[in-house]
Structure 1
C-alpha cells in the first residue's frame, strides 16, 4: 500500500491551536498516514523568529506528543542555509517509495506567494499541493498561478492520484488565532490559555518566552 504523507512547514513562533486544528482536519479528511510539522530554521519570507530554533522545535514536539498522525520533522533546523521548501520535498521524496503520495499543505496567502519561492515551478515534481481554503480567502491568485491552476487543479482532494503533480483545495474551519496575536498577548502579560496546548503554555511560562523583557 502506498503511504500518504503530509508536510506542513512554518515558523511555529509559537505553534498554536490554529496550526494543529488545520493539520488534524487535513489528516482526517485525506486519511494521511503521517502529517509532519516542519519548523523553519531561517524562513526566507519572514522575519527572524523571536525565540531560538530549538525552543520552537521543542514546543512543536510538546504540541503533537501522543496525537497521531501528527509528528515533527526537524530536518530544516539541521541545515545551515535558508529553509527552502523545494529542498525539503526533494529530501523527503528520496526517502519514500516511488508510489507514496506526498502532500504539501499551504495556506491561501502562502499559495498566492508561490511565484516568489525558490524554484517554485519544481514543487509539483515532488508532491501534490493542498491549499487550505478559508471563507475569508477571496483574493485572486496572481497571473503566474492561473495557468498552473487551470492545468493542475483537481476539484476533489480525495481524487488526487499518483505520487505528485496536482493541486486541490481543502475547506478549513476558520480559527481566528495567529502567532502574532499570541506574542502580543504574552508581551503585554495577558493569558494565552486555550490558544496554545497546555504543554506549550507550560513551556512558554517555564522559559519566560515572548515576555516584554525579551
Structure 2
C-alpha cells in the first residue's frame, strides 16, 4: 500500500491537521493516511496532554474520518523520536508499503537540522505543503536537492523514494498552541475554534488545557 504519514504532537489534534490529511489522501493517490503522534519530540517542549489522552483524541477523529488511521509506533519507542529511525522501523514492519512523509515548508527549510536527513530521503517521499512566510533560500543544499527531485503529484510513485511533491493545503490558520491558549483563557469549550466536535467534547469531559 501507499501510505502518507502525518507526524505531530497532536496536542490537541484540530481541523487543520484533519484537512491536511484529507488533502494528502486525495492529491497523492495514497491508500491510507496514518497520523503519527510523537512521544518525545526532539525540537519541542513536552505535550500538555498525556499519551493516553492524545491517543484517545486521535482515535475519536479516526472513527469520524475512517480514511485516517493512528500509528502509535513512535509512542512505543524509548528516547527522542527521530523521523529517519521511525521510517527505518516502519520499513521493517511493513516492507510491502511505500511511504510519503508530509512536511510543512517551515520544516523543509530546517531539514538540515534533522538527524540523518539525507538518510530519511532514501526511505520515503516528501509531500510539502506551504507555510505562510516560509520559502527555501537559493544556493542551499536542501534547495538544490529539492529542485532536482521535485515532481508533480502524478509522478511521485514512479520512483521508490526521495521525490518531493507539493501538497496543496487548505487555508486554515489553526494551531494547537492557539487552541490551548483559548482554553487556558477559560474560553467556553463550545466556543473554542478549530476543534472537531468529538475532540471538543473529549477535552471538556477531561478538563484538559485549563
Q: TM-score, normalised by structure 2?
A: 0.92
1:66 CA drift (Å): 4.0
Q: How many residues align?
A: 206
Partner of residue 158, structure 1: 154
CA deviation vs aligned residue, 1:93-148 (integer Å, no higher than 9, x gap): 223345x42100001111111111111111111100000125x3443347231221
Tell whether the 8 Å contact from 1:34 to 1:68 is kept in structure 2 after alignment: no
1:26 aligns with one of 14, 24, 27: 24
Q: Label 1:47 to 1:174 Cα distance change in 2 as closer, same or farther (>3 A).
A: same
Following TM superposition, by how much is the alpha carbon of 1:193 offset from its aligned partner in structure 2, in angstroms?
4.3
Q: In 2 relative to 1, CA 82–75 (structure 1 residues): closer, same or farther, beyond 3 Å?
A: same
Structure 1 SS opposite 2:100? strand
1:175 to 151, 172, 175: 172
For residue 61 of structure 1, what is the aligned residue in structure 2?
59
1:14 aligns with 2:12: yes
User: C-alpha distance in 1, partners of 2:137/2:14?
Assistant: 27
**Quick check: 1:198 aligned with 2:184?**
no
Matched, 1:114 2:107: no
| Greater Cα offset, 81-90 or 162-171 | 162-171
Q: Is the 8 A contact 1:39 1:73 kept in 2?
A: yes
* Cα 1:70–1:22 shift into 2, 3 Å: same
Distance 1:131 1:22, change over 3 A: same
Q: CA offset at residue 150 of structure 1?
A: 2.6
Q: Secondary structure at the match of 1:171?
A: coil
- Runs of 5+ unmatched residues, structure 2: none
Q: Which runs of 5+ in 1 are unaligned?
A: none
Q: Give the distance between the partners of 1:141 and 1:14, measured in 2 at CA.
A: 32
Compute the displacement of 1:68 (Å): 2.8
